[in-house]
Amino acid sequence: MQQDVPSPRWADHLARIEADGYTIVADAIEPDLTVRLRDTVRRLFDRLDVRPRGNRAEGFATRRLYNLVPRDPVFRELPVHHDVLPLVEELLEPECLLSGTTAMDIGPGEALQGLHADDGLLRIGRPHRPMMATTIWALTDFTADNGATRLVPGSHREPGHPDTDADSDDARRAIPVEMGAGSVLVMDSQLWHCGGPNTTADDWRLGLNVQYVRGFFRTQQNHYLGVPPEQLASYSPRLRQLLGFELYRGIMGHVEGRSPAAVLGLDGEGGGARAYAASTEANPFGDADVADR
Ligand SMILES: O=C(O)CCC(=O)C(=O)O
């Protein structure tokens, strides 16, 4: 059986993800886009009066906003970014889906979030092939003091789940990922990680979580209800495909044999389906079980 050959452009990043569970694509986001994203998120926080949700998972001093794509045209640039999506396609598959988009602004005084794996709800045994990819976009500098994401290198290979206690041995193994505004952290979502504590007096740490999943899984955020249908015509076919409006492997997700995009009278074949059709690979898992690496 023919195996996919990764593009040389992404080989080093893929090797790092394989070894450590993560990589950093330095300066992936254009400076102008970084500023536009940061300004738009902060404007939305103010306009919508977003406040901390007040629980350990979402934070007591952290502002969060979900379902970004329909909120402003600038967010449509996120899921299809030319320095991030191709790496995710190599890690997962061309027909992957956007699982969700979330802004996370960690404020002064925030405590360490509990360590977790973003794909921890998948009950398919660990470790397994990458099923989800988490990309965290730094819109401000991420420092050890202001809440840089913490992660345990290599933990994507651990068979179990981490101790979520802030004083645990697992928490002591976690390192802060410091990176400048404009860089993107890309993880195999099996990796144990969490938002860091913010011990500064006034330095908010703003990041975006753009998450992807293989095309046969359910997405974390529901785009069919989250994206107003009247917006879809102005989205690119590739973005519509990532949102689940195309068929997976030509069949999954159909409406009486047609894709949701076709039912809505929109152009189909948003990139992922075309890429798959061009591939000679019949089965992305070969003869191996999903849980095998
Ligand atoms: O804010 C971060 O750096 C990570 C947050 C996170 O892992 C989560 O909310 O699931």
From-to residues of CATH 2.60.120.620 in the chain: 11-213
| pLDDT number for residue 276 | 47
| pLDDT number for residue 165 | 95
What tokens were used for 2? 């023919």
> What average pLDDT does this structure show over 138-143?
98
Q: Higher model confidence: residue 276 or residue 40?
A: 40
What is 167-197 written as a DSSP string? TSHHHHH-EE--B-TT-EEEEETTS-EEPPP
Rounded to two decimals, the pTM is 0.91
Minimum-distance ligand 1 atom for the alpha carbon of 106: 1
CATH code of 11-213, in short, is 2.60.120.620
Ligand 1 in contact with 68 (CB < 6 A)?
no
Minimum-distance ligand 1 atom for the alpha carbon of 64: 9
Q: Cα 179 from chain centroid?
A: 17
| pLDDT number for residue 7 | 74
Ligand 1 in contact with 240 (CB < 6 A)?
no
- Residue 95 has a CB neighbour count (10 Å cut-off) of 27
pLDDT tens by residue, 19-77: 999 999 999 999 999 999 999 999 999 999 999 999 989 999 999 999 999 999 999 99
Q: Whose CA is nearest to atom 5 of ligand 1?
A: 195
- Residue 190 has a CB neighbour count (10 Å cut-off) of 23
Asked if residue 207 has pLDDT above 80, the reply is yes
Ligand 1 in contact with 194 (CB < 6 A)?
yes
pLDDT tens by residue, 178-193: 999 999 999 999 999 9
> What average pLDDT does this structure show over 116-130?
95
| pLDDT number for residue 285 | 45
